[in-house]
Every structure is written in C-alpha cells, then in structure tokens.
C-alpha cells in the first residue's frame, strides 16, 4: 500500500546569498516533505535560514538570493526554475503564504476587503458582488468581529491580531492546498498567539490543506505539529514528531532550545532564570565543513568540527549528530537498523 502523497517536497535545497562580493550558502542541503493535511513546523534561532527556506518554497526569494542547488516540487511538478509569471499562476491557489508582519504585507492604501477581492479576481472569474460577498464570508471565517466593518477598514485601523486574521483571509481566498505561515504570531501577545494558531488548525481541519509553520518558538508548536524540523545554520539537525521532541529530543541543539523555554514560576519562589545557549549562529559562509553547532556544543569532538554528520534514523525520526551515532549522549537512544 502506498503512503501519503507529498504535496510539497524539497530535495538537497541550497539557497545562496551575496556576502562580501561572493555567493555563500545560507541554506545548505535541506530536505523537506509535507503531505496533504500534515502540519510541519520548521524551528530554529534567528539567522538559521528557516524564513529563507519558506520564501524559496513559495517562489518569493528577494533579489540577490537564489536557489543554487537541489530542487523544489509542488504536487510532483518541479518548480525550482519557474519564473515569476509561472509562480503567479500557482501562488495563491495551490500554495499561499502568511507573513510575520501583516502591516508590511498588507497594502496600506487599500481596504481589507479590496485586497481580498483582488486576490479572488487574480485566480477566479467572479463578479464584483460575488467577490465582495465571498470576502465578507472569509472575514467571518477567520473570526474577525463585524466582518462588514472589517471589509471597509484600512490595515492601520485594525489591531495586530486582526491584521493577521485579515492576512490569513487573503491567503486562503483561493483555497490553497499548501499554506506556509512564517512566524505568524511573533508580534502578538500570548493569548492572541494561541488564537491565531487555533485558527490555522481549524482552517486546516476544514480544508485538509498542508500547513508549514516557521517559528523560533519550539514550545509554541511542539504540542500539535505532526512533525518538527529543527534547523541550525542552514541545515536540519533533527526531524521528529513534536510530542517526541518535548519528552525525548536527541540533538544537543534541540535540547538547548527545549531548556531555554520559559517555565512557570514555582509557588512561593522566584521565576527561574531562562537558560541561554552560549555563542551565536554562524553567519552564512562562516560555518565550517563539520557540524555548525560544534562551537557551542558540550559533546563536540574534533570530528564534529571537520566532518558533516550523516542522517541517523532514530525512533520516529532522523537526527544529524556524531555524538548520537557514536553513543556519546547521556540518553538512551534507539537507533533503527
């Protein structure tokens, strides 16, 4: 029996940027696969390449940044070399994106309703009245209060959470089968963050679309993402189900991210100090030939600094770590034959 069909796939993806007059890889050999109805979270610190990966998957890389290796497939079609005209035919109806800053993504001189109507007309024949009615229904679907009033509002007249909901309404206007959300809750308070994530999950259940969430907050997505890919310095270091990562992360970097999560204050005690990961993510071009995390890792050896680790199949996932493959981690690890 065949398994789930991949709707979005990247193989050995390399994304290069200009730095000091030369091109250097910012994303180095990423493999990504998302099936229909699946939620994939891509997690990592700022500068690890996760947002560039998201932009590449949607054909939205900025000038000076390009896919220089590997391939991207959308529903089995190789879209790696598509020009902008080709992407415009697919973006919005087959794959769509929600950006982290809705104020920058929305057009400030058009009402929310005008922007949704514009998105509908870009892909489907509809009268102005039909598109308007559908836009109002979309605003109600993303749970914006007073949809008619929100239709006529300009972006600056809405709160941050309302703008994000409006941006989601635009993204789903043409019923995409893949939705990429790049840091969709970054500037929102905790309550609104939870509401936006709940909304995305609800929309996914209704439509069966695949969902890719880009975030730096492992705690935010680990409890409900089907899979989590942890990125560091342009490469995946661990790819496993979210519930496994919460209780049994393997890679030292994933463990460090888990330790850095905010924790509740014990009754009658001071709030515990947040754990820190010493050092910083290396800039593109500065990462050596081995594991880029070696300089910040307490398990690193000389081999870690000079040889890139291979993928190691483990319980319900994959990890890229010499310490794991050599049995040097202080954890019981079931390595699959």
Show Cβ contacts of residue 335 under 8 Å, excluding neighbours closer than 6 positions: 312, 313, 314, 324, 325
pLDDT digits (tens, 9 = 90+) for 168-207: 999 999 999 999 999 888 777 878 888 888 899 999 999 9
The two beta strands, 39-43 and 210-215, are: parallel
Residue 294 to residue 229: CA distance in whole angstroms? 19
The per-residue pLDDT for range 214-264, each reduced to its tens digit, is 988 777 777 788 999 999 999 999 999 988 887 788 999 998 888 877 777
Per DSSP, the residues of 232-263 read ETTEEEEEE-HHHHHHH--SHHHHHHHHTS--
- At 86 the three-state DSSP class reads helix
Quick: pLDDT tens for 110-161.
999 999 999 999 999 999 999 999 999 999 999 999 999 999 999 999 999 9
Q: Give the H/E segment covering residue 16.
A: strand 6-19
pLDDT-derived band at 330 (thresholds 50, 70, 90) equals low
pLDDT of residue 106: 96
Question: What is the longest distance spanned by two Cα atoms in the chain?
Answer: 67
Q: Indicate the SS3 state at residue 300.
A: coil
Q: What CA–CA distance (Å, rounded) separates 61 from 199? A: 27
């Amino acid at each position: 029996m065949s398994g789930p069909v991949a709707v979005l796939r990247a193989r050995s993806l390399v994304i290069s940027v200009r730095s000091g007059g030369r091109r250097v890889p910012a994303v180095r050999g990423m493999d990504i696969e998302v099936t229909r109805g699946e939620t994939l979270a891509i997690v990592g610190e700022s500068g690890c390449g996760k947002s560039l990966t998201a932009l590449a998957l949607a054909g939205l890389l900025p000038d000076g940044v390009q896919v220089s290796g590997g391939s991207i497939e959308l529903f089995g079609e190789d879209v790696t070399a598509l020009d902008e005209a080709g992407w415009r035919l697919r973006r919005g109806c087959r794959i769509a994106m929600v950006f982290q800053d809705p104020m920058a993504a929305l057009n400030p001189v058009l009402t929310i309703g005008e922007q949704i109507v514009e998105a509908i007309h870009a892909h489907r024949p509809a009268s102005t009245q039909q598109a308007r009615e559908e836009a109002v229904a979309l605003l109600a679907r993303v749970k914006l209060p007073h949809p008619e009033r929100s239709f006529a509002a300009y972006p600056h007249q809405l709160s941050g959470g309302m703008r994000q909901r409006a941006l989601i309404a635009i993204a789903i206007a043409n019923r995409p089968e893949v939705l990429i959300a790049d840091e969709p809750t970054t500037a929102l308070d905790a309550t609104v963050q939870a509401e936006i994530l709940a909304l995305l999950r609800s929309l996914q259940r209704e439509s069966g679309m695949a969902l890719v969430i880009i975030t730096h907050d492992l705690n935010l997505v680990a409890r409900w993402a089907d899979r989590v890919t942890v990125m560091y310095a342009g490469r995946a270091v661990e790819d496993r189900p979210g519930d496994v990562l919460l209780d049994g992360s393997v890679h030292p970097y994933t463990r460090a991210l888990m330790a850095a999560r905010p924790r509740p204050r014990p009754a009658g005690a001071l709030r515990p100090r947040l754990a820190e990961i010493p050092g910083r993510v290396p800039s593109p071009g500065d990462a050596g030939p081995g594991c880029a995390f070696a300089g910040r890792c307490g398990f690193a050896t000389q081999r870690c600094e000079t040889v890139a680790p291979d993928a190691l199949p483990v319980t319900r996932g994959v990890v890229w770590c010499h310490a794991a493959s050599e049995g040097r981690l202080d954890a019981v690890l079931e390595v699959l034959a």
